[in-house]
Amino acid sequence: MDVRPNQTIYINNLNEKIKKEELKKSLYAIFSQFGQILDIVALKTLKMRGQAFVIFKEIGSASNALRTMQGFPFYDKPMQIAYSKSDSDIVAKLNGTFKERPKKIKPPKPAPGAEEKKDKKKKPSSAENSNPNTQTEQPPNQILFLTNLPEETNEMMLSMLFNQFPGFKEVRLVPNRHDIAFVEFTTELQSNAAKEALQGFKITPTHAMKITFAKK
């Protein structure tokens, strides 16, 4: 029996060792490229372990995500994706508390004093924005430089994003810096294709990733 297309997809065969919060953040990171996500439901009960629901605003987003990510290796296990049978229950609950939902997706608030540090970091990046030439000075090469990454970014999240593109080799994080990273491809053509596709990709609703070629 085929379930009718709806805006909620049901995912199973997920890695049961991953903590619930990390699982939800990683699912958000790879599925938000298909459209606006209203909520992600992942329960750690015995019955629901290894399963999750991703609720999109549009049915088209859910359909695209289902087709594209079917069998995608997520924490070393291929995802099994279908339309949710219980769409109406989840969406009905969601609609009742819709205004509160976006708070769940936002990254945790920084500790007191961290705001000032962030402001200092933000100022040079806004200067870069005002001069687009700073973004295009480096000649194309096989290594990409990522900036404006959120605090919870990890190697697995970035690997899953860039692993979709041919020629992907590795992600390199920078010690003591959560906001930048390097991604290496086999050729500059391959790195350029990934750069074009993921430029401005939002890992969280507040962080649009900036991609340039790394300095050689």
| Single pTM value for the model | 0.49
| C-beta separation of 38 from 98 below 8 A | yes
Asked if 87 contacts 6 with a C-beta cutoff of 8 angstroms, the reply is yes
| Confidence category of residue 97, pLDDT binned at 50, 70, 90 | very low
User: What class has domain 143-213?
Assistant: alpha beta
Query: In the structure, what pLDDT confidence band is assigned to residue 5 with cuts at 50, 70 and 90?
Result: confident
What does the domain layout of the chain look like in residue ranges?
Answer: 8-95, 143-213
Please check whether residue 79 is in contact with residue 13, taking contact to mean a CB–CB distance below 8 angstroms: yes
**pLDDT for position 165:** 85
- CA distance linking residue 67 with residue 181, whole number of Å: 29
Domain 8-95 indexed as CATH 3.40.630.40: no
- Among 33-47, 98-112, 169-183, the range with the most confident prediction by mean pLDDT is 169-183
Q: Which of 35-49, 150-164, 165-179 reaches the highest mean pLDDT? A: 165-179
CB neighbour list of residue 123: distance below 8 Å, 6 or more residues apart? none
Q: Which residue has the higher pLDDT, 90 or 21?
A: 21
Max mean pLDDT range (8-22, 87-101, 135-149): 8-22
Tens digit of each residue's pLDDT (9 = 90 or more) over 22-71: 899 999 989 999 999 999 998 777 777 889 999 999 999 999 999 999 99
The domains spanning 8-95 and 143-213 adopt the same CATH topology = yes
The answer to whether 170 and 194 have CB atoms below 8 angstroms apart is no
Q: Which of 53-62, 116-125, 160-169 has the lowest mean pLDDT?
A: 116-125
Q: Which residue has the tokens 């070629």?
A: 213
